[in-house]
Every structure is written in structure tokens, then in C-alpha cells.
Homo-oligomer: A and B are copies of this chain.
């Protein structure tokens, strides 16, 4: 167990600090190169924001060229004031082959691009710059595979974030006032998160899933089906963003679930906690306890080699025996997973879901979120972030897990 406390709940020194960045980035480049080697790929061209954060330590506008046999080289559009040993200014991608040769780097034979991230026209323009190269779209999958096994430094980022995240949640009772709507309380929670250093940005892989910082779901709104693949839905306040709070009053006898993205340093920690307006019916506490049992059981048994679908099935078994299967992970439209990898994006590998044969490996970090939605009451359950260690799981998010009662 780690209990690292920073004075103001702020993130540790940023990754761009020159003294640590080089070895950390080299380790990450090495992980990508191992996967490239297996596929006979001799260069990667990386240009999406999250993969640039991963490989360069920051967002830039430009292209990171990662060859197998030479140091990574950044071809940089902006900011136009950055300099470095392996940094070359560039205006447009058509300059790439000429600049590579000017840097003494041979043109690649088999190069991967981020095919699941780059828009179709952007991909084709980049590929056309390399007419004699075999260009493959597997860059997204391969870098995401590398990213799914976190370095020690990355796991430390999560530990620091979790401290700030827990501090913000601990103050939720202090900003709640009886008679608030779900939206009003969510605004105060957003402020608590921001004051602890949350950057606000919530990065999701894939174009279509959008959310603002996270969600607060109360009462029957938690069961409202959404277009997004998040664990629970919510109607939202506008059809242009149909998820989360829907501006209805928080009523006595209802539960609410707070589920915000903990992005304090680029890494999205994930944690949900449940609050009640006054007391809830007895069955809500029972259902909550069942979710805690799912968590306890998986935390006790999961370890490197555990198969994701077996962990999912274990959860379903516990929930079914307790009689909650109809309300588990939603009612009308149910989420078909109980956990998901987290990192620079909220949805990374592994996914704890049916038919997922992937096994846990040391360095994976995931959110486990068994949740039950009770008609007429609202959501209960738990979500924490976990790291896979050599021995089992390490809980990253430390914050009381019982339902917190707020005054009616």
C-alpha cells in the first residue's frame, strides 16, 4: 500500500523535467520498439496528442519519428521556440523524407502510422510522403499495447493523482446543500477537483465518446440509456451532450454516484463514490455491499495471468447469487464490462468484459467499477483504480467506500 501525500495535493514534478525525462522516455521508446521488431516494422511516425505525450513527454504540434536503430527525432511545427539535439523544425509533412535524409536517417522500409487515430485524409497525406515505404495503420494498436503496461514512473503518477482525487471527494459533503440539483452539485465538485489541481481535460480513445470532467448520476437518471460506452448513462442537460446530470433536484431517499476523471498530470485516475440524500431503503445498502464484495473478491484473486473474462464472470456470479443481476451495470441498457484500463486515456487495455481472453500483466492499471442501479433509488457500487503487481493488485485510490449520508 502506498500513501504518498504531497503538501497541496498537487501533482509531482512534471514529466518534462530534463533530469528525469530522458531515461523515462527511452524506456517507453524501447517498449514500442520491441513490439515494432516483432512485426518487422523499422519506424513509427507519431503525431496524435496522447501518443506525443507518451513518447515526448508533452503535447507539441509535429511528428515524432521513432526508428528501430537510431534515437527518436522530433520534427516540430509548434511551439516554434523549442530546441533540442534531436529536434528539427518542419512546416508540412511533405518535407519529412528530405529532412530525414538531411539528419542522416535512412527512409524506412515498413513504417507504421496511427491508423485508428489519424483522420483518413491526414493518414493518406502522410503515407503519400513515403511512396517507396510500406505504410501500415497498426501504429495506434501497437502504441496502445505498449502504453497498457505502465512504467514505474507512470504508476507513481497515478498514486499522486489519487491523493488529490481523494482530497476533492472528501470535501463533497462541505459543498452540498439540501435542495440542490444534480447539476448544481456537479459544478461544485468540478471546482473541488480543479482546486486540487485537476487539469479538467478528459481524454477518451475513439472519436465519439464525450464527457465533461466526469459524471454525477442520481436517482433514475442513472438508468437513462446514453449513446456512449461509459458504465452508466444519464440524460445530460442538452441533446448535444447526452450524458450525466440532467438538472433535477437531489431528492430524499435517492442515491447519487460521483464519478470524475482524476487527470492531475495527464494520467486519468478513475474513482466513484456513492452519497445518499438522507437514508436509503435497506436494499440499497445490501446492493452496495454486494459491489464491495465483487471488489474484495477480485482484489484478492486477480494477479498476473488472470484472464479478463474470468474476472468479469466472477463478478457476474457474485451479483447473480445476491439477486442483483437485473440491475447490475444499468437496467434498460447495460454496460458489458466491469473494468477498463486507464492511462493517458480513460479507455485503455485491458477490458474486463465477456469474451476478453487477455490476461493481466504486471504494470497494467485499470479501474474496477461494479455498480448497481436501483429503480426509484439510484446508483450504488464502487470504483477504484488498481495496478497489477507481481503478486496481485495494488489499490491506487484510497478513500472511504461506504455510502456517505448527506442531509435531506
- Annotate A66-103 by CB proximity to B: 1 below 8 A, 0 otherwise: 00000000000111110000000000000000000000
Provide the main secondary structure of the chain A interface. Answer: loop
- Is A195 an interface residue when CB atoms closer than 8 A count as contact? yes
Q: Do A227 and B119 touch across chains, with their CB atoms under 8 A apart? A: no
Copy count, this protein chain? 2
Q: Do B120 and A137 touch across chains, with their CB atoms under 8 A apart? A: yes
**A123 and chain B: residue at smallest CB distance:** B120
- What's the nearest-Cβ distance from chain B to residue A159, in Å? 17
Q: In the assembly, what is the distance between CA of A58 and CA of B118, in Å?
A: 25
- Is A242 an interface residue when CB atoms closer than 8 A count as contact? yes
- Complex interface residues of chain A between 210 and 253 (CB less than 8 A to chain B): 210, 212-213, 224-229, 233, 237-242
Q: Do A190 and B194 touch across chains, with their CB atoms under 8 A apart? A: yes
Q: Do B210 and A59 touch across chains, with their CB atoms under 8 A apart? A: yes
- Is A296 an interface residue when CB atoms closer than 8 A count as contact? no
Known contacts A53-B239, A190-B191, A265-B240; A61/B207 CB under 8 A: no
Q: Do B49 and A207 touch across chains, with their CB atoms under 8 A apart? A: yes
Q: Do B199 and A78 touch across chains, with their CB atoms under 8 A apart? A: no
Q: Do B58 and A207 touch across chains, with their CB atoms under 8 A apart? A: no
- Is A15 an interface residue when CB atoms closer than 8 A count as contact? yes
Q: In the assembly, what is the distance between CA of A80 and CA of B225, in Å?
A: 7
Q: Do A333 and B117 touch across chains, with their CB atoms under 8 A apart? A: no
Q: Do B81 and A332 touch across chains, with their CB atoms under 8 A apart? A: yes
Q: Do B212 and A61 touch across chains, with their CB atoms under 8 A apart? A: no
Q: In the assembly, what is the distance between CA of A119 and CA of B137, in Å?
A: 10
Q: In the assembly, what is the distance between CA of A59 and CA of B122, in Å?
A: 25
Q: Which of B49, B117, B240 contacts A58 (CB 8 A)?
A: B240
Among A62, A118, A199, A344, chain B packs the most CB atoms within 10 A around the CB of: A199
Contacts of A35 on B, CB cut-off 8 Å? Answer: none
- What's the nearest-Cβ distance from chain B to residue A245, in Å? 11
- Is A187 an interface residue when CB atoms closer than 8 A count as contact? yes
Q: In the assembly, what is the distance between CA of A61 and CA of B226, in Å?
A: 9
Q: Do A195 and B187 touch across chains, with their CB atoms under 8 A apart? A: yes
Contacts of A212 on B, CB cut-off 8 Å? Answer: 199-201
Q: Which of B11, B207, B213, B333 contacts A78 (CB 8 A)?
A: B333
Q: Do A213 and B200 touch across chains, with their CB atoms under 8 A apart? A: yes
Q: Do A78 and B238 touch across chains, with their CB atoms under 8 A apart? A: no
Q: In the assembly, what is the distance between CA of A58 and CA of B213, in Å?
A: 20
**A141 and chain B: residue at smallest CB distance:** B121
- Is A16 an interface residue when CB atoms closer than 8 A count as contact? yes
Contacts of A174 on B, CB cut-off 8 Å? Answer: none
- Is A115 an interface residue when CB atoms closer than 8 A count as contact? yes
- Is A60 an interface residue when CB atoms closer than 8 A count as contact? yes
Q: Do B121 and A119 touch across chains, with their CB atoms under 8 A apart? A: no
- Complex interface residues of chain A between 105 and 152 (CB less than 8 A to chain B): 113, 115-124, 137, 140
- Is A14 an interface residue when CB atoms closer than 8 A count as contact? yes
**A50 and chain B: residue at smallest CB distance:** B240
- Is A208 an interface residue when CB atoms closer than 8 A count as contact? yes
Q: Do A227 and B187 touch across chains, with their CB atoms under 8 A apart? A: no
Q: In the assembly, what is the distance between CA of A77 and CA of B239, in Å?
A: 16
Chain A residues with a Cβ under 8 A of chain B: 11, 14-16, 47-49, 53, 57-62, 77-81, 113, 115-124, 137, 140, 184, 187-188, 190-191, 194-195, 197, 199-201, 207-208, 210, 212-213, 224-229, 233, 237-242, 265-266, 332-333, 344
Extra contacts, 10 of them, besides A113-B120, A119-B120 (Cβ < 8 A), are A14-B239, A47-B208, A48-B207, A61-B227, A77-B227, A78-B228, A79-B242, A81-B332, A117-B207, A239-B266
24 contacts between A and B (CB under 8 A): A15-B240, A47-B208, A48-B207, A53-B240, A59-B208, A60-B227, A61-B208, A78-B227, A78-B229, A79-B333, A81-B332, A116-B120, A117-B119, A118-B119, A119-B120, A120-B122, A120-B123, A187-B194, A187-B195, A190-B191, A199-B237, A199-B238, A199-B240, A240-B344
